[in-house]
Amino acid sequence: MRRLLLDGLLHRPLTEPPPVPDDAALAELTQALARAARRRLGRSLSLRLVDAGSCNACELELNALGNPYYDLDRFGIRFVASPRHADMLLVTGPVTRNMAEALRRTYDAMPAPKWVVAVGGCAIDGGCFARSPAVLGGVHQALPVDLTIPGCPPSPTALLRGLLALLEQADAGKMEKT
Amino acid sequence: MTQLDDLIQSGSRIECHGPWPRVVVDRPAWEAAGAALAAGELTLLGLWGETETVHMAVGETGRLAVLSLPCPDRRYPSIGRAHPPALRLERAARDLYGLVPEGSPDTRPWLIHADPYPFLEAEGPGLHQIAVGPVHAGIIEPGHFRFAANGETIVRLEARLGYTHKGVEALMAGATVEAAAQIAGRVSGDSTVAYAWAFVQAVETALGLKSPPRAIQLRALMAELERLANHLNDIGFVCNDAAFGLLHAHFAALREGVLRAADTAFGHRLMRDLIVPGGVSKDLAAPGKEAIAAAVAAIRRQWPLLVEIYDDTASLQDRTVGTGIVKTGLARQDGAGGYVGRAAGRNFDARAAFPYAPYDKLRFDVPVREEGDVDARVRIRIAEAEQSLSLIDQLLAGLPDGPLYAPLPAANGPAEGMALVEAFRGDVLAWVRLNADGTVARCHLRDASWFQWPLVEAAIEGNIVADFPLCNKSFNCAYSGVDL
Ligand code: SF4
């Protein structure tokens, strides 16, 4: 193990430079923020994920955000265990009837101001499950959605772009305020 | 004459079904099959329904058959009554098709949720209940776990699933095979390659089509990359749940390398929608080959050191060895596949037990261990990842030239097909019946975890609550895959 730790000290980390924020996500986000007209968000953003019936591939890519290549923590963004600590709710999946209540309860448990991000095609409009009576067909059927990140699943880079866009907006808001 | 032969001969054979026989049986034969399952003479491979028929796939070493019992009154003798591994499958068939298993000891709904849900009871002085889920602390799929504990010690665990039920089977009915293949690839996202492969293989068998050799080879290449990426992920996460973040970071980085290679090679990190009925939709070019070879080389470089750390870290072994033991007898009776079965002495891998192309021509071992604990499930994954590396070498080296796709012939009457494909988690069973116009009449996809979840419950008994996340991760059972 000593060798491995030493290697870690001597070599360049795997982490990549942050990607540029996505324009479409940014525009959507600006509107969402204007609509909410809320106070600025702190630099340290806490995320909470609810899988509302995803196939689990969206979770795989959200998890990948924590690997040494993306290392989400360095942006001050982290996934928290309790909705009560979260600023933003990420939702995956087409919102199954069996998850709808748990999803709403999680949202209700979050303190305001709070934002909802629909992650992946299923969360946006139900994806290929939209026709099924077992699903509501997208997060907007259950909660107000502020931002969507398309993809099936969205790659970690696409996820990062969406989240960074939000952070930069929050920062801009902060600068105006002071 | 074996038990299976008797059953096959007692029924009337459905000619349009392949590659294994399907026979329509009467009640006595159905009940005899149930008794043979309970006695351990046969293994249950699946049980599913449709409007007025219940089907059951049963196997012996190297052979299997589907038994179908017509039940116009929507009632049939419960298999789960004497053979508990069938219980949840029967509950699901009841929820989806209204088929009532007569005599079943468990009449609670499974996929259709109607609260309140009566959990099984555990009584005794000092027992308390702990309810967890469906929303969990981490980035994982939803399920509810109900523990009855005495202090720290778990007396009983019962899982309640179905939260991600999306109505997959109903969506597939009536869909074109192309659309249905996409849905199949979204039943369990981490196994998108294996599911799509199982589905199209069942369709191609039904239509009597052989997809071109290059397509078959590329399917296997994708399947092995998928297996490798998932095993790396799981090994890392088990270490993480044992509070050993260092290995988690390294295995996660190796996994990322595999996904990036897949992206370069096939244009999608998880290789989704690339396996289509008749072949594959994307060819492998030189840059892709190089990317895969580079990812494989990177893993081989790091591998001995990482495995050595896993071996030598006492604090890690302290958590994994002897935790969450699955007994061999239970794994056999249950028909548990994947690393769960193979870590507990059940030597079953669909690639070897029911060889399908190209595995019939490839060299690989099926690692088996006896201990059945968290450590054994990690070590099986380590050994299987090594096998996948070797398989990827063989697949890349022997990639034949030729077309990627063969057009599907028309159905010309009733057509039914079946496939058993080894996903990283275990065998995926696909059963499909096609309409005359080539669309899907009925499709059933059975995840390996149907037979693994009950073992989680059995294995955790007597362990402490704090070891549950670790133990559960070592199983990494499917949620979406079994919720359908
Ligand atoms: S968007 Fe795609 S990856 Fe995400 S849950 Fe839906 S099917 Fe799975």
DSSP letters for B345-366: T----HHHHS--TTGGGS----
The nearest CA of chain B is from the CA of A108 a distance in Å of 13
Neighbour order of strands in the sheet with B144-150: B127-132, B144-150, B153-160
Task: Please give the average per-residue pLDDT across B438-466, as a whole number.
Answer: 94
Task: Choose the mutation target among A67, A69, A108, A157 for the interface with B, i.e. most B CBs under 10 Å.
Answer: A67
Structure tokens at A34: 């204007």
Cβ–Cβ < 8 Å for B326, B455: yes
| Contact: B189, A60; criterion CB under 8 Å | yes
Is B180 within 8 Å of chain A by CB?
A: no
Rounded average pLDDT over B185-202: 97
What's the pLDDT tens digit per position in B295-307? 999 999 999 999 9
* CA dist., res. B135 & res. B479, Å (int): 13
Interior CA angle at B336 toward B335 and B337, to 5°?
110
Distances (CA, A) of B183 to A146, A151, A178, B106, B175: 28, 15, 51, 30, 10
Cα A32 to ligand 1 centroid, rounded to whole Å: 24
Secondary structure class of A68 (helix, strand, coil)? coil
State the pLDDT at residue B410: 85
> Are β-strands A147-149 and A115-119 bridged in parallel, bridged antiparallel, or unpaired?
parallel
Instruction: Report the share of chain A in percent with pLDDT over 70.
Output: 71
Query: What is the reported pLDDT for A175?
Result: 34
Q: Is B380 helix (H, G, I), strand (E, B) or coil?
A: helix
CB-CB neighbors (< 8 A) of B137 in chain A: 81-82
Binary contact (A128, B182; C-beta < 8 A): yes
Give how far B141 is from chain A: nearest CA, Å.
Answer: 6
Assess whether pLDDT exceeds 90 at residue B236.
yes
Query: What confidence score (pLDDT) does residue A18 get?
Result: 53
SS3 percent helix, strand, coil of chain A, rounded to 5, is 45, 15, 40
* Global pTM value: 0.93
One-letter identity of residue A20? V
List strand residue ranges (DSSP E) for A23-74, in order. 45-51
Q: What integer pLDDT is reported at residue B1 of this predicted model?
A: 59
Distance CA A77, CA A72 (A): 6
Tell me the pLDDT of chain B averaged across its residues: 94
Roughly how many angstroms between the first and final C-alpha of chain A, as a whole number?
Answer: 49
Say how far apart CA B395 and CA B186 lie, in whole Å. Answer: 25
* DSSP state, residue B280: E
Report d(CA B230, CA A164) in Å as an integer.
Answer: 28
**From the list B141, B179, B269, which residue is nearest A155 (CB)?**
B269
- Bridge partners (DSSP) of residue B66 are B22, B57
Contacts of A6 (CB under 8 A, 6+ apart): none
d(CA B88, CA B459): 18
> Letter for the amino acid at A92?
T
Are A57 and B272 a contacting pair, CB within 8 Å? yes
Q: Which atom of ligand 1 is nearest to the CA of A121?
A: 1
List the residue whose alpha carbon is closest to atom 3 of ligand 1. A153
Instruction: For residue A5, name the pLDDT band (cuts at 50, 70, 90).
Output: confident
